[in-house]
Amino acid sequence: MRSSGSLWRNRGFTRLWIAHVTSGAGTAITNVALPLAAVLVLGATPSEMGLLAAAGSLPNLLFGFIAGVWVDRVRRKPILVWADIGRAMLLLSIPAAAFLGQLTFLHLWIVAFAVGTFTVFFQIGAISVLPALVEKRDLVEANSRLSTSDAVISIAGPAAAGGLVQLLSAPRAILIDAVSYLLSALALGGVAEEEAKQGAQPDGESAEGPASGLRMAAISFGREVGEGVHELLRTPLLRALTVTSSLGMLAGSLASAVQMLFLVEQLRFTPSVIGIVAACSGAGSLLGAVVAGRAARILQAGRTLVVGKVLWIAGALLLAAADLTGYELVAAGAAQALVGLGSTLYFVNQISLRQAITSVRLLGRVTAARRFVLFGAATGGALIGGALGEAIGLRATLLAGAAALATELALLYFSRVRGAKIE
């Protein structure tokens, strides 16, 4: 491990950063191109968009605990590499199907679900490997640098995505993301984890026979999952962060289920304009990543979470009212910038808090237990958002998401999270 003054001389962190940037650039394109493929190519309804949003979060419910146990048992690097390769192969099927004239909504849903499954393993592995590469006191700085890169990508990536979709079509634009995952896998091959292999395996009683071996494996799996759940529940700060973040995930999924439809149908934005609006979110994220560490030092991490959430809510409300201002593009861009700034301030500090107070030995399982709760809320939010979009309209659904964010803010402010700091 290296100190914050030499993070760029830390080969493991640098490799992880390169992979993060490479795959993130492609993902920024797919985040625009995939829902646009559903809306523009297949004419998806609000309910179908809700199902598509749910497809990406459902794997966390089904496979999150498995991923958490697996990540804590073995080296994280091979998990990251194979997850990248799997996602690349899946995404390649979309432009291939479009070329053959066989692209369907079911195909998009299956790919989104399968890519989401690989992403579960990748994200839990990436979160768990970072504390093995840098010192605890450097976690905010390391996460800030990763988030800064995300922000830069999210400025250029969506704008490029909008242009590519308009020029090439949405399915073909996704091809770039597939290539980016392959390049990320190459970069990750050089990550050296400075950790001992956990090797939490069932003991030698498997010699009694296959049935006994399966039984012992199930008992071992259940015990390891239980350790992660117990750590999450027994640690007050982890518990509070999980409850509040669950509301945030519900709110975000409510809004994201209908946001693309709102931009296309309500604001009448073209793909290239949608890309520019999304790039404004990246500009806000860049600012958030740059100041996240300084804000944590001045305000402490907990108060920074509150400030981030206030900015996030302001952006959500402004987007819902964008067409009422008479300056739709300016309002939508400013709204996304506020959301980007607030969400990045929140994300950098909450993930750093969790990494700092959780043992590396348990981090994969604790993360999996937390994600099970959060993405349960996200899956439900996406389905509810799609249904609300058809029942009460797109704007009202965006406002419902903002109301859920406000509830989360109240819980943050009146809980122990507000006074939390990284020591």
The Cβ of residue 342 has, within 10 Å, a number of other Cβ atoms equal to 25
CB 40 within 8 A of CB 100: no
Judged against a pLDDT cut of 90, whether residue 311 lies above it is answered with: yes
Assess if residue 200 is contained within a domain: no
Cα-Cα-Cα-Cα dihedral sign, residues 137, 281, 59, 122: negative
What integer pLDDT is reported at residue 209 of this predicted model? Answer: 53
Q: 89-123 pLDDT, tens per residue?
A: 999 999 999 888 888 999 999 999 999 898 888 87
Assess if residue 95 is contained within a domain: yes
Assess if residue 299 is contained within a domain: yes
pLDDT band at 423 (very low <50, low <70, confident <90, very high): low
- Of 91-95, 168-172, 205-209, the one with minimum mean pLDDT is 205-209
Assess if residue 50 is contained within a domain: yes
Assess if residue 392 is contained within a domain: yes
The total of structural domains in the chain comes to 1
Q: What is the mean pLDDT of the chain?
A: 83
Assess if residue 199 is contained within a domain: no
pLDDT band at 212 (very low <50, low <70, confident <90, very high): low
Crossing angle for the helix pair 46-73 and 363-391, to the nearest 10 degrees: 180
Assess if residue 207 is contained within a domain: no
Q: What are phi and psi of 134, to 5 degrees?
A: -130, 160
What integer pLDDT is reported at residue 16 of this predicted model? Answer: 82
Assess if residue 208 is contained within a domain: no
Q: What is the CATH number of the domain that holds 189?
A: 1.20.1250.20
- Of 97-101, 126-130, 279-283, 308-312, the one with minimum mean pLDDT is 126-130
What integer pLDDT is reported at residue 2 of this predicted model? Answer: 46
The Cβ of residue 85 has, within 10 Å, a number of other Cβ atoms equal to 14
What amino acid occupies position 337? A
pLDDT band at 196 (very low <50, low <70, confident <90, very high): very low
CB 55 within 8 A of CB 34: no
Determine the structural domain holding residue 362 and report its residue range: 4-193+223-419
In the beta sheet, which residues pair with residue 2? 134
Q: How many helices (H) and strands (E) does the chain have?
A: 13, 0
